[in-house]
Amino acid sequence: MSSNSPDKPQLIKNGKRLSGRSFTDLRPLKITAGVLKQADGSAMIEWGKNRIIAAVYGPHEVFPKFLTNNKKALVSARYVMAPFSSLEDHGRSGPNRRSIEISKVAKHVFENAILTSRFPKTIIDIHMDVVQSDGGTRIAAITAASVALADAGIPMKDLVAGVAVGKVDGELVVDLDKTEDNYGESDAAVVISPRTGDILLFQMEGLLTPEEVKRTVRLAKDAAVQVREVQVAALKKRYEQVASELGEQIA
């Protein structure tokens, strides 16, 4: 964040954001479930210019075996950005400090959501590959992975949904894009369980008053409900597709 950078454009004009959105509008959001053949569950999210593919493998046997938990399934999460995913420079492939931290907190989200006690002695692998980034990749990745888990038929307490909320030009706005992310005054990644309204992930930086932080999570909660509708629609479409394929086989 460099809200005092000389290159900073005016991010809000006449009550609208640069993209023409209102403070609470989401960018165009589309999720497609079942985009990969090999994976047990998968989803592709297109959110603004973000393109992220999530794949789920498992529950399967744990390796190395001594890590096996007799009471519940282990969860592993891997978030990475492809070297070609950003507009600017060519990144390095593989995990870095940022992606290791994101993978860790993403894993915690799914450990909470998945009914892990249903699958003792197994592990569920969740992969999130960012192939094009446009601000808010971690919450988009988790939103996609949630759909991929449902596509894999893994029982969960809820379809978790994420959104970023930040302060740009003094206003709290929902679903920051790349420019708002770069030049904004604060940025919070929030993952919510829309069914209960509980906070499953919260990572914030920036200078906010306590009231603004409290508003941040409430804005995120309202947005998560909208994101969830897109997730549900993606899964319904997937089931229709599976059902029609099965129908053809029977006929």
Partner 1 sequence: MISDQIKAQFIKDLIKDNKRADGRDFMAYRPIEIEKNVFENCEGSAICKIGDTKVLAGVKIDLATPFPDRPNEGMLSVGCEFSPIAHPSFQAGPPDERSIELARVVDRGIRAANTIDLTKLVVAPGKVMGVFIDLYILDYNGNLTDAAAMAAMSAVKNAIVPKVEQDGEVYKLNHEERKHHLPLGESVVTCTFEKVNGSILLDANIDEENASSGRLTFGTTTTGKICSAQKSGLASFTLEQFDSLIDMSLEQRHALMKLL
Collect all residues with Cβ–Cβ distance below 8 Å to 132 and sequence separation of at least 6: 49, 50, 51, 85
Residue among 85 and 193 whose Cβ is closer to partner 1: 193
Question: Which position among 22, 93, 117, 196 is part of the footprint of partner 1 (CB under 8 A)?
Answer: 196
Nearest in space to 201 (alpha carbons), one of 79, 103, 137, 109: 109
Q: Residue 111: enclosing H or E segment and its boundaries?
A: helix 97-113
Q: Does 203 bind partner 1 (CB under 8 A)?
A: yes
92 binds partner 1 (CB under 8 A): no
Is residue 19 part of the contact set for partner 1 (CB under 8 A)? no
Number of Cβ atoms within 10 Å of the Cβ of 158: 16
Query: Per CB under 8 A, does 208 bind partner 1?
Result: yes
Task: Please choose, out of 52-60, 62-70, 164-172, 193-201, the segment that lies near partner 1 by the rule CB under 8 A.
Answer: 193-201
Shortest distance, position 4 Cβ to partner 1, whole Å: 9
Contact 168, 176 (CB under 8 A): yes
* Span from 45-53, 132-140, 141-149, 196-204 in contact with partner 1 (CB under 8 A): 196-204
- Smallest gap, in angstroms, from Cβ of residue 71 to partner 1? 11
Phi, psi torsion values for 71, nearest 5 degrees:
-105, -25
Q: Judged by CB under 8 A, which of 140, 188, 223, 235 binds partner 1?
A: 188
Task: State how far Cα 199 lies from the chain centre.
Answer: 14
* Cα separation, 188 vs 201, whole angstroms: 10
Q: Which residues pair with 162 in a beta bridge?
A: 191
Mask for 94-133, x = binds partner 1 (CB under 8 A):
---xx-xx-xxx--xx-xx---------------------
Token readout for 110 is 């799914």
Closest CA to 116 of 152, 61, 75, 60: 75
Is residue 199 close enough to count as binding partner 1 by CB under 8 A? Answer: yes
Q: Which residues bind partner 1 (CB under 8 A)?
A: 1-2, 97-98, 100-101, 103-105, 108-109, 111-112, 186, 188, 193, 196-210, 212-214, 217-218, 221
